[in-house]
Amino acid sequence: MRQHLQSLSYYRWLVFGVAVTGTFMATLDSSIVNVALPVVAASLGAQLTTVQWVVSAYLLTISSLLPLFGRAGDMLGRRRVFTAGFLIFTLGSALCGLAFSIQLLIAARVLQAVGAAMIMANSQALVAGAFPGRNRGRALGMVGTVVALGSMAGPSLGGLLVGSLGWSAIFFINLPIGIIAFILGQFVLKDDDSRREEKFDFFGAFLFAVGMLSLLLLLSEGHTWGWRSQTSMIAAAISIVSLGWFIGYEQRISQPMIDLSLFRHRPFLAGNLAGLFSFMAMFCNNLLLPFYLTDILNLTPTQTGLLITPFPLLLAVVAPLSGYLSEKVSFKRLTVSGLTLTISALLYLSAIDAATPLWQIALCQAILGIGNGLFQSPNNNSVLSSVAPNQLGIAAGLNALVRNIGMVSGIAAAVSIFEGRRLNLLENLPAPTPDQLAAAFLSGYHAALLAGACFAAIAAIISLNRHSHVKPAANR
C-alpha cells in the first residue's frame, strides 16, 4: 500500500498532512495547558510555583532534546523516529490525564515532551524533503500557518474542554489523534534513502543536554533566583563547562551529534541567528502585553484575547504567502521587510499609555503578525535550503531549538528589564499610590518593548548581510 501511495501525484501532500499533524499536536499542547493550570493546582493541591513546572518541564525537555532527535532521524530514518514520537507522546498524554499527583503529572509531561521533541525535530525535515527545490518555501509557509493555528486554538479549546470535561480532557484528546497519526505515518511515510549507518554520539548528546538544560533553567528562572545568586552562578558554570566541553569534543570526533561545520555556511548561521533575535523580540511583547491590558486598561480576559487575536490570525494568513514568495523573491528582501514592520510596531507599543485607543493596540498586533509572517517562512526556507538532504533532520532540529531558545530568552529579558525598571522607580516609595504603580509599570513596559525593538533590529542587520538568495542544496 505504501508503494501505491508514493506513486500518487499528490503524495507529497499526504506527507505534509501527516507531518503537520505532529506539529499541530505539539504546538497545541504547549498552549492548551496554560488555561488549565489554576484548575490543576486546585485539583491536585499544588501551589502555583509548583504547577508552573507542568509547562516549564515540557518546554525545557523539548529544547534539550531537539538536536539529538534531529540527528537520530538523519541516522535511523525520519519516519522511524517521527512515528515513534507519536507513540511516546500519546503514552505521555494518557499518563498525564491519569495522574493523581502533581509530581506524577510533571513526570508524565517530561515523557510527553520526549515524544514531542521526536516529532518536532523531524516534521519540518519531512516537509522539506517532500518538497525539494522551488516548492519548498510554499510548504514551509504552510507549516508556519499550522504553528500559528495550534497556538491560537490552544487557549480556546482548552477552556472549553476544562469547563465541560475537566482538566484531564486536554490530555486525553491527544489519544485518538496520536494513534491515527501513527498508523498514517506507517503507511504514508517512506524510508529515508539518505539515512546513514553511523555510531550515535551518546557522550556528546549528554554534554549538550546538560549544558542546554542548565542554560534554559538560568534564563527562565534567573529573575526569580536572582542573577547573582549562588544557584544562578552554579547553573551558569555548569552550562559554560558542559557546552564548552561539547563544542571541543564534537570537533575532535569523526561522527559528532551536531555537525558544527553547518554553521560555517553563511545562510545557515545567518538564518538561525536572525530567527533567535526575532523570537526574542516577539516574546518580549507576547509576555507583557496581557499584563498591560489587564493591569493598566482593566480589560476582561475575553477582551484581552480579542485584542491579541490579530497577531496569530495575520501570521496564519501571511506565512504561506511569504513562503510562496520566497520561491520567487530573495530571502533577504522578505525577511528584512518583515523585521522592519516588527520594529515599527514594537517602537509604537513602547510609547503607549493608559489613554491609548484599543484599535491602535489591535493594529500593532496585526502589523506584528504580518511582520512575523513575512519573516518566518523565508527564513526557515533559507536555513533548510542551505544544507544537504541527509542533514535536513539535524538542521530542522537546530532550527526548532533556536526558536525555543529565542522564546525563553525573550521572556527572561523582558521580565528582567521590566522588573528592574519598575522596582527601581518604586524603591523609595514606601506606600506608592495607584498612579505611581501604573507609572512604574508603564516605564518598565516601555523599556522592555524598546529592548524587543532592538532585538528585531539586530535580526534585520543579520538578514541584510545574508546572501540574497540560496539555491536549495538538493538542486546543486
Q: Which amino acid is at 150?
A: G
Report the candidate in 223, 281, 275 with the shortest Cα–Cα distance to residue 449.
281
Task: Determine which of 63-67, 109-113, 358-362, 455-459 has the lowest per-residue pLDDT on average.
Answer: 63-67
DSSP, res 404 = H
* Mean per-residue pLDDT, 374-388: 82
Which cell is 212 given?
542546554
- Domain end marker among 169, 190, 211: 190
Residue 428: pLDDT over 50: yes
Q: Supply the pTM of this predicted model.
A: 0.76
For residue 437, tell me if it sits in a domain.
yes
For residue 474, tell me if it sits in a domain.
no
For residue 411, tell me if it sits in a domain.
yes
For residue 196, tell me if it sits in a domain.
no
* Mean per-residue pLDDT, 77-103: 90
* Cα distance between residue 361 and residue 306, in whole Å: 11
Report the candidate in 22, 2, 49 with the shortest Cα–Cα distance to residue 116.
22
Residue 347: pLDDT over 70: yes
Alpha helices in 33-101 (DSSP H): 37-44, 48-51, 53-76, 78-98
Q: Does 266 lie in the same domain as 215?
A: no
Q: Which residue has the higher pLDDT, 456 or 286?
A: 456
Q: What is the pLDDT of residues 295-327, one digit of tens each?
A: 888 887 667 777 878 888 888 888 888 877 877
Q: pLDDT band at 469, cuts 50/70/90? A: very low
For residue 197, tell me if it sits in a domain.
no
* Cα distance between residue 113 and residue 108, in whole Å: 9
pLDDT of residue 122: 83
Q: Does 166 lie in the same domain as 56?
A: yes
- Domain end marker among 256, 284, 300: 256
**Contact, 56 vs 104, CB < 8 A?**
no
Q: Does 185 lie in the same domain as 278?
A: no
Residue 109: pLDDT over 50: yes
For residue 475, tell me if it sits in a domain.
no
Q: Does 167 lie in the same domain as 24?
A: yes
Q: Does 288 lie in the same domain as 216?
A: no
Q: Does 319 lie in the same domain as 459?
A: yes
Question: Can you give the CATH number for the domain in which 148 is found?
Answer: 1.20.1250.20
Task: Determine which of 14-23, 178-187, 352-361, 401-410 has the lowest per-residue pLDDT on average.
Answer: 401-410
For residue 172, tell me if it sits in a domain.
yes
pLDDT of residue 95: 95
Three-state DSSP state, 310? helix
Q: Does 248 lie in the same domain as 314?
A: no
DSSP letters spanning 299-366 = --HHHHHHHHTHHHHHHHHHHHHHHHHTTTS-HHHHHHHHHHHHHHHHHHHTT--TT--HHHHHHHHH
Q: Does 301 lie in the same domain as 239?
A: no
- Domain end marker among 190, 210, 236: 190
Q: Does 266 lie in the same domain as 248?
A: no
Residue-number span of the structural domain to which 181 is assigned: 1-190
Q: N- to C-terminal Cα distance for the chain? A: 32
Q: What is the mean pLDDT of the chain?
A: 82
Q: Does 181 lie in the same domain as 324?
A: no
Domain count within the chain: 3
pLDDT of residue 472: 41
Q: Does 59 lie in the same domain as 157?
A: yes
pLDDT of residue 244: 93
Report the candidate in 386, 345, 358 with the shortest Cα–Cα distance to residue 296.
358
Residue 8: pLDDT over 70: no
Q: What is the pLDDT of residues 112-150, one digit of tens each?
A: 999 998 988 888 778 877 877 666 666 766 776 677 667
* Cα distance between residue 166 and residue 97, in whole Å: 10
Q: What is the pLDDT of residues 35-49, one digit of tens each?
A: 677 778 888 887 756
For residue 105, tell me if it sits in a domain.
yes
Percent of the chain with pLDDT over 70: 87
Q: Does 214 lie in the same domain as 167?
A: no
Residue 292: pLDDT over 70: yes
Residue 353: pLDDT over 80: yes
Task: Determine which of 123-132, 271-280, 347-356 has the lowest per-residue pLDDT on average.
Answer: 123-132
> Sign of the C-alpha dihedral, residues 193, 467, 400, 239?
positive
